[in-house]
Amino acid sequence: KFNIATAGGETYSTPSLTFPCQQTSEDGRMSVEVNIRPPVGITQFAAGDTVTIDVEWMTTPGVVEDYYGPNNELKGFLTLNPMSWQIVKREIDLNYRHLVISVEGGTLESTYAPARVRVDCSESAVILRLKGGVGGSPIEFVGLQHPSYEFYQTVGKDNERKIEGCQIDYDASKAEYTMTYTMMLGATFESSWKLKQV
């Protein structure tokens, strides 16, 4: 999302993009930056002008040697596709276009970058059922009255594995907590997760 609104009432919704090449390797591969600039015709801002921009920035390893995590599926993909745009396409296809999330005990507000669930605090748990997805995918649980929750992945028929590591944020203006976890996706096409009050 990109929007410039001037004090004079003009609006612009399309930025200018430039892609300067920083270096070229012997095999022809390039390192390219992306610069987001105001639209053509805007040379300065004045009092009362506003700029709104939402950016989703994805950082991915270029080669398997750059990846130090536990995801063997990603390691295999990087081995077959080093320094390739395919890794970004894989992320978009499997996590943005085709990830399906159903929720009990809350309301799904976003499925990607990150997934976001507004929790119904009258419920003792939030249950998520996912189809698709790949790699480490963050999920935010918002609207919490307190941070006394734990997050689990269903493993097998009746077992649960506790997900360690959580970012907790507090919005004093709303008196609400947000808890953010990372779900590791891709081992199975369907997965189940649960946020429980403790």
CATH number of this structure's domain 98-197: 2.60.40
If phi over 0 gives left and psi between -120 and 50 gives alpha, with beta otherwise, what is residue 114? beta
Total-model pTM: 0.70
pLDDT, position 108? 97
Q: Alpha-carbon distance 12 to 20, whole Å?
A: 24
Nearest Cα residue to 142 out of 164, 173, 160, 169 = 169
Give the domain ranges of the chain. 1-55, 60-94, 98-197
Q: Alpha-carbon distance 23 to 4, whole Å?
A: 32
pLDDT, position 187? 61
Place of tokens 């890794």: 87
pLDDT along the chain (198 residues), means of 10: 81 85 75 81 86 79 88 89 88 83 96 90 94 88 96 89 94 95 82 94
Q: How far apart are the first and last CA of the chain?
A: 38
Q: Do residues 129 and 192 make contact, with C-beta atoms less than 8 angstroms apart?
A: yes
pLDDT, position 53? 83
Q: What values do phi and psi take at 79, rounded to 5?
A: -65, -40
